[in-house]
């Protein structure tokens, strides 16, 4: 699982904002009892790291 707190505490502002948004989205899924796939976690990390854009995430 991605350590979003590390990005939020030590990441640059762009990574911090993206990590916070992903943590919220994944947390909302957990509230509904949904499990996050490895693919989603990998995609989130690639987006936070700037490897892919949000448009690519949504495809």
pLDDT at res. 2? 86
Q: Which domain holds residue 19?
A: 4-58
Residue 51, pLDDT score: 97
Count: domains in the chain:
1
- What is the helix (H) or strand (E) element at residue 17, kind and residue range? helix 13-31
Q: What is the pLDDT of residues 2-59, one digit of tens each?
A: 888 888 888 799 999 999 999 999 999 999 999 999 999 999 999 999 999 999 999 8
Sign of CA dihedral 40, 43, 47, 48: positive
From CA 50, how far away is CA 55, in angstroms rounded? 12
Residue 40, class by beta-carbon neighbours within 10 Å (0-12 exposed, 13-18 middle, 19+ buried)? middle
């Amino acid at each position: 699982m991605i350590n979003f707190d590390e990005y939020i505490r030590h990441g640059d502002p762009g990574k911090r904002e993206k990590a916070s948004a992903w943590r919220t989205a994944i947390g909302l899924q957990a509230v509904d009892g949904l499990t996050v796939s490895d693919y989603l976690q990998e995609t989130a990390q690639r987006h936070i790291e700037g490897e892919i854009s949000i448009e690519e995430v949504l495809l």
